Structure formats: structure tokens, C-alpha cells
Amino acid sequence: MPELPEVETVRRGLAPVMEGQVIARATLNRPDLRWPFPPGMAERLTGARVLALRRRSKYLLADLDRGETLLVHLGMSGRMLVSGALVGQFVHDHPAPEKHDHVILDMAGGARITFNDPRRFGAMDLMETASAEAHPLLARIGPEPLGNGFHEGHLAARLAGRRTSVKAALLDQRIVAGLGNIYVCEALYRAGISPRRQAGNLGPRRIARLVPAIRDVLTDAIAAGGSSLRDYRQADGELGYFQHAFDVYGREGAPCRTAACEARITRIVQSARSSFYCPRCQR
């Protein structure tokens, strides 16, 4: 599932062709994705101007001039691809329709945004912009890890007394927004913290290393266009490249990248998810 860097990369790719533009026509090719679309969604989107395109955790939020906000979640395999407009250095012609093109937004400026989702685990909803933060999918999400609300004091307070592993705690969207399995593994490696360590026992020094490690790994991943492991694509259809810089994720049995460390990357299963770490560098 796309994590914060992938969704932020998609947002940045869509913003130039959506922000300030009118949705000339919205086409829904089915009644639902993971859940049914809201009533009259095509009519409510058609003719609306996109005032701003934001991201909250792993969700895209398009604020409209009609006082509503379109919420988009990419799910496991969702892609939002741009055609008919300059994205990066290329203009892609409108492609032939595909089986899993479920939502199409034709913008007045000539661009087309196609939401393609073979597995249909994605989601879309419309909500009042003024109360968007109270939406059930957003209401309990913690601070953005790249924002001012995420700092050592916040993390220490939220982890205090927790007996779960630090790996599981960081995946809890109520503690910090947008982190998933890949970037938690990478951040814990950079901070030198074992994913096995109990969250409530990190201590100030480890927390002081962990907060900037989370920020740095996310920033590096966004700069690389995210990580493409299966279905993820940027808005122009290109792959992300951060997977080539993974220190631990997916590298079971490979040598640790830390200089003079002779250990090999270990894989364990925590809460039905794979955790990758160096047993010598991460304590």
C-alpha cells in the first residue's frame, strides 16, 4: 500500500494540472470502489473548481469551490495518472480506456486524471470542507511527521507506558500519520533501534534519534519519487526509485550497509508483517 512519500509524490504530480482548474466532466464507470461512491458524485464534481490539493496522512484531499472536499485513498493498487498535459518533461496522450479505469476527471485545461485500481481497495468520498478533519477516516489521525506537531515531546508522550513493540507503535496512525511498513523499517535502522524494542522503553536518547530519522527517510523517499515495489506509479506513470536505496527493507540475508558491520539483515514477523533490521546495529 502506498505510504506517505508515494501519496505526496502523486499529490505533487497532480497539483499543476488540478489546482485552480475546473473539472469539466467527471465520469464514474462503476458505483463503488472499496465502498459505494457518495450520491451524485459525478454531478457534484462536474463544474467544480479545485482550489487546493492537499495530503493528510495517506489521503489526497481536493478542496472545491463548492465547499466540498474530494477525499481519495489509493488503496493497494490505485493509480492516478495524468494525460493530455505536461507532467515533468513529457506530455502523455490520452490512453485507450482500460478495464480498471473507474473514475475519470477531464479538466477544463485539457488534462485528464484517470483513477485506475485493479483490486478496488481504493476509496473516494465527498465531504464538507469546513468539517473535513472530523471525517471518520481522518478524525483520529496523529500529526504529520514532517510538520511541527511531530517532535520528541509528542512521541515520548504517546509511547510512554506502551508495551507493544516500537515497530507496531509507529504503524499506529493515531501516533504519527502516514508511516507504513517500509519507512518504519528504514527509520528504525537509521536510528539504530531494534523493531523488537518495547515502545515504552525507548528513553530520551533513542527518541531523540528516531524523530529526525523518520523525517530524513521520508524526505529522501519523496525526493526519489517514492518506492515502486508492485503497483505504485507516479502521476506521469513513472516508477519511484527509493527502493534502490533501501538499507534493510527486503534485504534479508544481505550484508548490513554500516561500515565495519559484518552482520546480515534479519527478517522477523511482527503483527503479521515483515520487519527487516540489523541485529548488531539496532539495539
pLDDT, tens digit (0-9, with 9 covering 90-100), for 236-273: 555 444 667 899 999 999 999 999 999 999 999 998 99
Catalytic residues: 2-3, 58, 273
Q: Which residue has the higher pLDDT, 199 or 6?
A: 199
Confidence of residue 232 (pLDDT cuts 50, 70, 90): very low
* Rounded alpha-carbon distances, angstroms, from residue 132 to 3, 28, 56, 96, 196: 21, 23, 11, 35, 36
For the domain 152-277, what is the CATH code? 1.10.8.50
pLDDT of residue 45: 98
pLDDT, tens digit (0-9, with 9 covering 90-100), for 162-210: 999 999 999 999 999 999 999 999 999 999 999 999 999 999 999 999 9
The dihedral formed by the CA atoms of 35, 119, 7 and 1, expressed in degrees to the nearest 10: 110
* Rounded alpha-carbon distances, angstroms, from residue 252 to 139, 146, 266, 268: 37, 29, 5, 9
pLDDT, tens digit (0-9, with 9 covering 90-100), for 141-170: 999 999 999 999 999 999 999 999 999 999
Highest averaged pLDDT of the listed ranges 85-94, 99-108, 216-225: 99-108
Q: Which residue has the higher pLDDT, 258 or 235?
A: 258
pLDDT of residue 86: 56
pLDDT of residue 69: 98
Domain locations in the chain as residue ranges: 4-134, 152-277
pLDDT, tens digit (0-9, with 9 covering 90-100), for 50-74: 999 999 999 999 999 999 999 999 9
- Of 116-120, 159-163, 275-279, give the lowest mean pLDDT range: 116-120
pLDDT, tens digit (0-9, with 9 covering 90-100), for 69-93: 999 999 988 888 888 875 554 556 6
What's 166's DSSP letter?
Answer: H
Helices (H), strands (E): how many in the chain? 6, 12
For the domain 4-134, what is the CATH code? 3.20.190.10
Region 124-141: what's the mean pLDDT?
97
pTM over 0.85: yes
pLDDT of 49 > 70? The answer is: yes
Confidence of residue 33 (pLDDT cuts 50, 70, 90): very high
d(CA 50, CA 166): 39
In degrees and rounded to multiples of 5, residue 17 shows phi and psi of: -105, -5
Q: Are 244 and 257 in contact (CB under 8 A)?
A: no
